[in-house]
């Protein structure tokens, strides 16, 4: 007999092989299907993403806004990233997992960047780190890569410095800033990044970046020409209704479904309809009768 405490008996589906850095590099334009990446911050989401065949998971520092309720990604700490990275890597052992280096855990020095990245690999179990910034961060990318830690770059809109960029805005719309974003991408790729997130730039600029750099580009709000795409899981699932960037396509409305499920549960509890017999445990009748005989009701007070 099974009940709610019994583990599911069905055999797990066969796992696809985990992508390594060379596999990801090899998926540069036209060499294999586009790469598909999504954020994950917890064990169940990581499991579901892996079962769905997602290629790469990002434990993004969007964690701060999406899951922890901060107003920006700036307050996120390395310890918070580690806590969530461990959950994700437990949930998706056969998926390439990248974790963000949060604000001020890599900017100070090469040594700081290597130490922070090292913790994410050793304690978080991730396969690679991502850090935001262009030419100004190329030295950090180089240092971390030379320390043997795969680094993903992130150019265009870099949320950790949204304040400097005038908010969460599309980058590279005019000639000078488009050229600056292109230079950033080239610098980070030349410094040893194995892939590059390109966020919130016009599609033509992302196409140019994709053509110019020798590593795969993962676009978010950057058009269709990139070598792959990344989205925030809560946007994909319809769990985030406070921020609605134009590029964030919803593939489900789990926010409404979740709210309806909670409301239905609350209504049934209040109406006495839950739990019913199907969701309760029962004693055998003879044991129940013996228990009642051995434990008679106490006399009423007074």
Active site residues: 199
Residue 76 CB, nearest approach to ligand KIV (Å): 9
* Residues between 114 and 173 with contacts to ligand KIV, criterion CB under 6 A: 154
Per-residue binding letters, 46-85, with ligand KIV (x by CB under 6 A)? ------------x-xxx-----------------------
Q: Choose between 138 and 160: whose C-beta lies nearer to ligand KIV.
A: 160
Q: Quick one: three-class SS letters along 116-166?
A: HHHHHHHCCCCCEEECCECHHHHHHHHHHHHCCCCEEEEEECCHHHCCCCC
Residue 60 CB, nearest approach to ligand KIV (Å): 2
Residue 73 CB, nearest approach to ligand KIV (Å): 6
* Residue of 41, 60, 220, 72 lying closest to 129 (CA atoms): 60
Instruction: Name the token pair of 296.
Output: 């008679």
The strand pairing partners of 38, in sequence order, are 57, 231
Asked if residues 128 and 120 have their Cβ atoms less than 8 Å apart, the reply is no
* Residues between 225 and 244 with contacts to ligand KIV, criterion CB under 6 A: 230, 232
CA distance 188 to 144: 12
Residue 275 CB, nearest approach to ligand KIV (Å): 39
**DSSP string of 180-195?**
HHHHHHHHHHHTT-SE
Considering only 131, 220, 237, 239, the residue that binds ligand KIV (CB under 6 A) is 220
- Which residues of this protein are in contact with ligand KIV, per CB under 6 A? 39, 58, 60-62, 100, 154, 197, 199, 220, 230, 232
């Amino acid at each position: 007999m099974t009940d709610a405490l019994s583990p599911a008996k069905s055999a797990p589906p066969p796992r696809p092989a985990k992508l390594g850095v060379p596999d990801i590099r090899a998926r540069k334009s036209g060499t294999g299907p586009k790469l598909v990446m999504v954020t994950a911050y917890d064990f169940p989401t990581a499991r579901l993403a892996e079962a769905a065949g997602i290629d790469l998971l990002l434990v993004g520092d969007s964690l701060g806004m999406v899951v922890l309720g901060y107003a920006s990604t700036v307050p996120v700490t390395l310890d918070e990233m580690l806590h969530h990275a461990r959950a994700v890597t437990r949930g998706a052992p056969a998926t390439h997992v990248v974790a963000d280096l949060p604000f001020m855990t890599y900017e100070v020095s090469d040594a700081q960047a290597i130490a922070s990245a090292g913790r994410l690999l050793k304690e978080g179990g991730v396969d690679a780190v991502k850090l935001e910034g262009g030419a100004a961060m190329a030295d950090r990318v180089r240092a971390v890569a030379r320390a043997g830690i795969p680094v993903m770059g992130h150019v265009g809109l870099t949320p950790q410095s949204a304040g400097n960029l005038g908010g969460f805005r599309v980058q590279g719309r005019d000639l000078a800033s488009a050229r600056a974003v292109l230079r950033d991408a080239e610098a980070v790729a030349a410094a040893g990044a194995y892939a590059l997130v390109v966020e919130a730039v016009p599609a033509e600029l992302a196409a140019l970046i994709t053509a110019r750099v020798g590593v795969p580009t993962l676009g978010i709000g950057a058009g269709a020409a990139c070598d792959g795409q990344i989205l925030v899981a809560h946007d994909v699932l319809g769990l985030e209704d406070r921020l609605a960037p134009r590029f964030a396509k919803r593939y489900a409305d789990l926010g409404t479904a979740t709210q309806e499920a909670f409301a239905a549960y609350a209504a049934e509890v209040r109406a006495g309809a839950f739990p019913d017999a199907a969701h309760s445990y029962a004693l055998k009748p003879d044991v129940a009768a013996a228990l009642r005989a051995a434990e008679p009701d106490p006399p009423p007070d007074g």
